[in-house]
Amino acid sequence: MKYALRIAFREFGEHVKTKGFIIGLILFPVLVFAGFRVPAILEQISKPTRAFAVIDPTGRFTAIVDEAVERDWQERDDKARLVWLEKKKADAQLADHVPEKRLFRRVEVPPEAIGADLSETIANLKPWLTGERKVHTDDGEQELFALIVFPPVAGQVRKGVQYWSTNLTDEALSKLVSRALAEDLRRKEYTEKGIPQAEVERIARIDVKFDDKDPRKAAGEEDVGTAEKLRQWAPVGFVYLMFVAMMTVAQMLLSSTVEEKASRIFEVLLSSVTPWELMLGKLIGVAAVGLTMFAAWLVSLFVVLRFASGGVGEVAGPLMSLVFTPGVLVPLAAYFLLGFLLYASLLLALGSLCNTLKEAQNFMSPVMIVLMIPLFAMIFVARDPNGVLAKVLSWIPPFTPFTMMNRIAGDPAGWEIAGTLGLLLVSVALMLWLAGRIFRNGVLRTGAPPKIVELWRLLRG
Amino acid sequence: MPPLDPRPAPSMSDLALRLEHVTKRFDTFTAVDDLSLAVPFGCVYGFLGPNGAGKTTTIRMSLSIYEPTMGRVEILGARSALDVRAQIGYLPEEKGLYKKMKAKDLIAFFGGLRGMDPGEARREAVRLLERYGLGGFTDTRCEALSKGMGQKVQVLASVVHKPRFVILDEPFSGLDPVNQQVLEQVILDLRAQGTTIVFSTHIMEHAERLCDRIVLIGRGKRLFDGTIVEAKRSIPRSVRLHTASDPEPLRAVRGVTDVVRLEGDGHWAIMLAEGAQTDEVLRACFRSGIELSSFERHDPSLRDVFLKFVGEEAAA
């Protein structure tokens, strides 16, 4: 074992010192952080308060638009202020709340654009809408983002509002205004029918809510919360991480095995250690690399989530605490480790048969296809963790780790966990044994990779 | 087949390596065929033979890298080389290094695999690199070393743990004359320390200079096993002469076994039986009126021995 560890130590050192590994370690938290924060930051930076104009011949709708825009800003600012207040409680030194940026600001139609009639005014405004001319705002010169044109007759508002903009994919303003208008129309209609304002508000709030209950839970505790519903999706993250870890490690295992084989280092190694010690050392070394990466990613994920404000952070907290319970974590770790060993030993055996990376990659293709199957099935398994597909895949050893990790939050029966773990354990032992035989005979083999018949001979010999 | 070593077989404790009727087959191909060997402690032992003779396979079996199909291997008194790995050093024929490792780390790593303490291995690695002229390259990555330097590093990696028994498979192949000399020095240093050395080669000059004993292998079989002197004695001495006369009358001289015409006009080899005197041949030349333009005693070289045995084997 001492010698296996020395091999493992060298293997670990060789991989963690590579630039690729270090860049990967740093890049992941950066990407996670970017994933959480950059869209918000970009929104802050790239989306200036957009100017829009309104042509309202009846003069009845401008106030509704103004109020809707103001209320939208107010709601967002209130939400941000609440988050700030929470933080302020923990940290008295926290700087004052910075009011949220306004997304939209109404500007008057430039006087020089006003024409004899409506259509002429619209035509005159086109240079402002296309950015050829700018409007004056508090933020300086600006393009006119949108023009809302109300019909000359108030009664035509339901079908006669025009929304002019060169950016019709950003629907934030049009939706905001149309919602406000619809609400106003509905309110007026109710009032005309003689229903009092307060009653209208009450009716508008009527909503049907379902109480989700889980019959498997103890009496009185059958309620299921949102976080708990999300829980069955959380392991999907682990399946992805395992997949990424497998891909990275597979590459390392193959390249290092092929390098050692091509440069004939194996021969010296095999005069010092048994093939079994050599294989075990390589597995341990590469596993340690994988685990280091995995741990570093988890830590950075935790750190980012800890400091990420807003929706993601709030959901992730309870979600992580649900996953990090022994009942979930222990089987997760067991499936992860066994799955890793199953595939890593297979790849090591394949690597030992190849003299070049190109040959090795030919062998990799079928392995990749097998790895893809549980990945494709993941959505269906997460949706119905105890369905037929999930159950069948669970008992096929190459798919067991992925499928069971995916199902673990769906509380599969204890015998299923024990049974699939047992089967996986036997498969791993068998695979290690087979890989050991191939490895022993393969590492000193020269020439093209073996055909099936020869492979069989290697297994026997 | 030449007579085997007539001395009594050494006792087990005197042997660094012993192979008894060892055979190795790969499918239908027999790489080593019923080979028996005994390498005593403290000697430099040469494995000689043409390419494909089975030298490397024999070495791999000695080191437990291959299991023999039949027969028994005993190295330093153990059935498996791995049981005595701390006492064995090995340099394979095809030399490879971890490209990204520093020279001193690589030597220390292999020392570690032979049971050395990591710190001690690193100190010894630096000492060896300095001793053999690579002091400035201790922290150089192997990929940046020249081929010769890389080979030197690998030789040092195989002896860093001060083994009692070193096996070198074609250690001189690919080395320039200067580095060949350095390697010879390494081997002589090891011998001076009492290390038993086995090395395979098909360059007879090295074997002749360094070996105490040799084994000649051809097609997996032992063709000769003994000291260099015995090897040379196994083929007849001769006299080479150049003459315009007919040397046939020399056949009548006592101790002359054959008169052979060599390539080139007037060149002859007069083959002598063991114990025959060359001055007798010279006197006979004068007596018979054979006019000599050159007369030279020819002692067989190891190369002659090699060609004789390998040629006989090939002819068979």
Q: Do residue A273 and residue A156 come from a single domain? A: no
Q: Do residue B21 and residue B129 come from a single domain? A: yes
Provide the pLDDT for residue B172. Answer: 87
- Residue range B181-234, pLDDT digits in tens: 888 888 888 999 899 999 998 888 888 888 999 998 988 888 888 888 888 888
Please state the rounded mean pLDDT for residues A359-385.
81
Report chain A residues whose CB lies below 8 A from the CB of B76: none
Please state the rounded mean pLDDT for residues B276-296.
87
Provide the pLDDT for residue A33. Answer: 72
- Is the pLDDT reported for residue B2 higher than 50? no
Domain closes at, from B200, B232, B264? B232
Q: Do residue A160 and residue A25 come from a single domain? A: no
Provide the pLDDT for residue A350. Answer: 83
Nearest in space to A25 (alpha carbons), one of A283, A290, A303, A302: A290
- Give domain status of residue B304, yes or no: no
| Reported confidence tier of residue B5, pLDDT bands at 50, 70, 90 | very low
Q: Do residue A253 and residue A348 come from a single domain? A: yes
- Residue range A135-145, pLDDT digits in tens: 888 778 888 89
Q: Do residue B171 and residue B288 come from a single domain? A: no
- Residue range B40-92, pLDDT digits in tens: 998 999 999 888 888 989 999 998 888 899 999 999 988 888 888 889 999 98
Chain A: closest CA distance from residue B105 (Å):
10
Report chain A residues whose CB lies below 8 A from the CB of B65: 267, 270-271, 444
Please state the rounded mean pLDDT for residues B177-182.
85
Provide φ and ψ at A50, rounded to 5°. Answer: -90, 140
Nearest in space to A274 (alpha carbons), one of B196, B64, B312: B64
Provide the pLDDT for residue A426. Answer: 95
CATH at residue B286: 3.30.70.100
Q: Do residue B220 and residue B250 come from a single domain? A: no
Altogether, the residues listed in chain A come to a count of 461
- Give domain status of residue A209, yes or no: no
Q: Do residue A324 and residue A420 come from a single domain? A: yes
Question: From CA A11, how far away is CA B153, in angstroms rounded?
Answer: 20
- Residue range A415-455, pLDDT digits in tens: 988 999 999 999 999 998 888 888 877 777 766 667 766 77
Cβ of A272 within 8 Å of Cβ of B85? The answer is yes
Chain A CB within 8 Å of residue B182 CB: no
- Is the pLDDT reported for residue B273 higher than 60? yes
| Reported confidence tier of residue A175, pLDDT bands at 50, 70, 90 | very high
| Reported confidence tier of residue B4, pLDDT bands at 50, 70, 90 | very low
Name the residue range of residue B255's domain.
236-299
Q: Helices B147-159 and B103-113: crossing angle, nearest 10°?
A: 30
Residue A139 DSSP symbol: T
Provide the pLDDT for residue A230. Answer: 64
Q: Do residue B222 and residue B244 come from a single domain? A: no
Cβ of A268 within 8 Å of Cβ of B88? The answer is no
Q: Do residue B147 and residue B295 come from a single domain? A: no
Question: From CA A318, how far away is CA A332, in angstroms rounded?
Answer: 18
Chain A CB within 8 Å of residue B99 CB: yes
Cβ of B92 within 8 Å of Cβ of A268? The answer is yes
Cβ of A267 within 8 Å of Cβ of B65? The answer is yes
Q: Do residue B174 and residue B241 come from a single domain? A: no
Residue among A3, A262, A271 minimizing CB distance to B63:
A271
Residues B49, B54, B56, B61, CA torsion sign: negative
Question: From CA A16, how far away is CA A26, in angstroms rounded?
Answer: 12
Chain A CB within 8 Å of residue B98 CB: yes
- Residue range B84-113, pLDDT digits in tens: 888 999 998 877 888 888 999 999 999 999
- Give domain status of residue B117, yes or no: yes
Cβ of B158 within 8 Å of Cβ of A268? The answer is yes
Cβ of A273 within 8 Å of Cβ of B113? The answer is yes
Q: Do residue B246 and residue B221 come from a single domain? A: no
Given a contact cutoff of 8 angstroms between Cβ atoms, the answer to whether B179 and B20 are in contact is: no
- Give domain status of residue B5, yes or no: no
Given a contact cutoff of 8 angstroms between Cβ atoms, the answer to whether B188 and B281 are in contact is: no
Nearest in space to A86 (alpha carbons), one of A303, A302, A309: A309
The mean pLDDT value of chain A amounts to: 81
Q: Do residue A234 and residue A348 come from a single domain? A: yes
Cβ of B65 within 8 Å of Cβ of A271? The answer is yes
Report chain B residues whose CB lies below 8 A from the CB of A261: none
Q: Do residue A350 and residue A323 come from a single domain? A: yes
Chain A: closest CA distance from residue B118 (Å):
9
Name the residue range of residue A88's domain.
48-204
Q: Do residue A258 and residue A185 come from a single domain? A: no
- Give domain status of residue B310, yes or no: no
Q: Do residue A31 and residue A53 come from a single domain? A: no
Q: Do residue B139 and residue B161 come from a single domain? A: yes
What residues have CB less than 8 Å from B49, skipping those under 6 apart?
A: B55, B200, B202, B216, B217, B218, B223, B310
Provide the pLDDT for residue A229. Answer: 64
What residues have CB less than 8 Å from A209, skipping those under 6 apart?
A: none
ipTM: 0.77
Cβ of B100 within 8 Å of Cβ of A17? The answer is yes
Provide the pLDDT for residue B139. Answer: 92
Q: Do residue B143 and residue B253 come from a single domain? A: no
Chain B: closest CA distance from residue A264 (Å):
5
- Residue range B225-243, pLDDT digits in tens: 888 888 888 888 888 889 9
- Give domain status of residue A333, yes or no: yes
Residue among A6, A18, A263 minimizing CB distance to B113:
A6
- Give domain status of residue A324, yes or no: yes
Chain A: closest CA distance from residue B12 (Å):
23
Q: Do residue A115 and residue A177 come from a single domain? A: yes
- Give domain status of residue A223, yes or no: no
DSSP letter for each residue of A161-172: -EEE-S--S--H
Q: Do residue A269 and residue A194 come from a single domain? A: no
Query: How many Cβ atoms sit within 10 Å of the Cβ of residue B252?
Result: 9
Number of domains in chain B: 2
Number of domains in chain A: 2
Cβ of B94 within 8 Å of Cβ of A264? The answer is yes
Report chain B residues whose CB lies below 8 A from the CB of A262: 96
Task: Pick from A6, A256, A260, A268 the residue to mutate for testing the B interface (most B CBs within 10 Å).
Answer: A268
Q: Do residue A439 and residue A386 come from a single domain? A: yes
- Contacting B with CB below 8 Å, chain A residues are 3, 6-7, 10, 14, 17-18, 259-260, 262-265, 267-274, 444, 457
Report chain A residues whose CB lies below 8 A from the CB of B98: 10, 14, 259-260, 263, 265
Give me the total of CB pairs closer than 8 Å, taking one residue from chain A and one from chain B.
67
| Reported confidence tier of residue B1, pLDDT bands at 50, 70, 90 | very low
Q: Which of A156-165, A221-230, A285-294 has the lowest mean pLDDT?
A: A221-230
Given a contact cutoff of 8 angstroms between Cβ atoms, the answer to whether B255 and B272 are in contact is: yes
Give kind and range of the element (H or E) at residue A323: helix A311-323
Give kind and range of the element (H or E) at residue B107: helix B103-113
CATH at residue B87: 3.40.50.300
Report chain A residues whose CB lies below 8 A from the CB of B114: 272
- Residue range A10-23, pLDDT digits in tens: 989 888 888 878 88
Q: Do residue B200 and residue B155 come from a single domain? A: yes
Provide the pLDDT for residue B103. Answer: 92
- Residue range A177-219, pLDDT digits in tens: 999 998 888 888 888 888 887 887 787 778 887 777 777 777 7
- Residue range B98-157, pLDDT digits in tens: 888 899 999 999 999 988 998 999 999 999 999 888 889 999 998 898 888 888 898 899
Q: Do residue B93 and residue B200 come from a single domain? A: yes
